[in-house]
Amino acid sequence: MNKALKWLIFFFIGINLIFSAWSYLHQDIFYQTDNARDFLIMDEIADKKMVLIGPRADKKGVFHGILWHYLNMPAYIIGKGNPIATGWFWFLLTVGLISSIYFVVKKLFDETSALIALVLSSAYLVPYVQGFYHGSGALLSLPLYFYFFVKYFQTKQWKFLIGHLFMLGAIVQFQLAIGGPLLILSTLASLFVIIKNKKFLHLLCFGTLLIFASSFLLIDIRHDFLQTKSIIKYVQGERDQFPMPFSESVKNRIENITTRGFNLFRNSSSDLNNMNLLIFALFVFSFVVILKSKSKYRHIYIIFLYFHIGYYFLTLIHRGLMLELWWFPMTLLPLMMFSTFHKFVPKHLYFVLLGILLVLMTSQNISHANDLSKEIGNNTRSWKFHLNNMKQIFSDAPEESGIFIYSPDIYGYQDKYALSYVSRVSEKKIYKFEKKPTTYILMESPPKERIDLVPTWWIENKLHIKSQPEEIIKLSGGYEIRKYELIKEDLEIPSEITTADWLYFR
């Protein structure tokens, strides 16, 4: 590869990195309920110092691990809780992720394939790295998870098994929905290699998983094995909702394997998603060629098939549709394999398709950056939107006041963390979820069709405020601020909504 082409490649990667940092460059992050919940948990860690449990995975008592939050704590502390500072740490993780993809593909295949993977991943990830959450850790871990197992299979050296199990333990901590199936697949595959090659001492390497299981074990012992019982019930078929027909679950997994699970034609629209059938056809053709050949890489592709198809097969235990946060991290493995297919298909066909993908992704990334620029401070998925709303309350508030947050989803995590952060940097004394003579309610309007969620009943029967608001300030995004000057009768009856409701299912 000549020097000019390499410079062009790295220029393109640089542009993609700018797009990846677009939100952070504009002092914002993508900020939904899960992102906000993670910041509230980090807030809890900063206060309590030792927290063993992560966010809930379901309402029956299954929880994710706490590793993601401790990984982010240095950035959280250095940035004094400012999500933008943590966002720049996420950007560094993004650089580390695409670097790990380059490293893995180069070590397992060759430099040309690695450069293709680097270019593709830098463009592919742009929309997904504007705001990380606990499950993003699985995305960051998967390239090395795959690499270490391939190296263990090739060399039979225990150090690679430890590396593989270490990454597996991290994935389990980050995202149970991904880590659970991979735990089964890794255990079976590792035992196969150990038994076949009579490396029985390598069984001791599984002790690595105890490091990551320890927080789950301590919580289970303390809470009468709540999580273990919940997982058993889950495997037995118990759900928060009625499970969908098994045939529908199978259909959904087939769709993921053939289209959405590749996601190189990256769009939620069905037409563009169906274009991933071209990628699937290319995979089928390439794998037929590979499996018929005596290529030295043949075993790597077989290992990929084992983990890729095995993962989707095991998710059938869920008996429901796969959410994006379950299938998206797994798309990195097909991307890495696709980067090597120039070896097995006509080069002109491969590079034309690669060019189409890069042009399309670049167009989407430009459009995404434009959309982000319009949404900053104006959309409920923007950190700056929630920050500005809270700042408006603080600018109006006297030296001492109370504040409540009403959200139709009952959680209100986005506004709760904005309240925590602004409280920390303000000199005014604001009491969270406590009534004071001057009390504010930040309200998110419920959907028009949900008249049962109109906040009047909640204010009168949960907060026990009968007075009418002194002032109502309309905000964008369906939000409003209600300011109350409470009378004696309002203050005498304590609110039923307290800081005990700050984080649900804790």
For the stretch 301-322, pLDDT in tens is: 999 999 999 999 999 887 778 8
What would the pLDDT profile of 422-443 be if each residue is shown by its tens digit?
A: 999 999 999 999 999 999 999 9
Other CB atoms within 10 A of residue 437 CB: 15
What pLDDT, on the 0 to 100 scale, is given for residue 193? 98
pLDDT-derived band at 219 (thresholds 50, 70, 90) equals: confident
Q: Which long-range contacts (CB under 8 A, 24 or more apart) does 354-360 make?
A: 354/116, 354/120, 357/120, 357/264, 357/265, 358/12, 358/119, 358/120, 358/123, 360/265, 360/266
What Å distances lie between residue 63 and 39, 53, 228, 255, 346, CA to CA?
16, 7, 10, 28, 48
H runs (alpha helix) in 382-440: 383-396, 413-425
Q: What is the average pLDDT across 123-129?
A: 95
For residue 274, name the pLDDT band (cuts at 50, 70, 90). confident
Q: What is the pLDDT of residue 50?
A: 79
Q: Which strands form 438-444's sheet, in the order they lie side by side?
A: 429-432, 400-406, 438-444, 479-485, 471-474
Q: What is the pLDDT of residue 235?
A: 61
Specify the pLDDT at position 173: 94
Q: What percent of the chain has pLDDT over 90?
A: 71
| Residue ranges with strand state E in 335-493 | 400-406, 429-432, 438-444, 471-474, 479-485
Split at pLDDT 50, 70, 90, the class of 75 is very high
Q: What mean pLDDT comes out for the span 169-193?
A: 96
More confident residue, 240 or 374: 374
Predicted confidence band of residue 58 (pLDDT cuts 50, 70, 90):
low
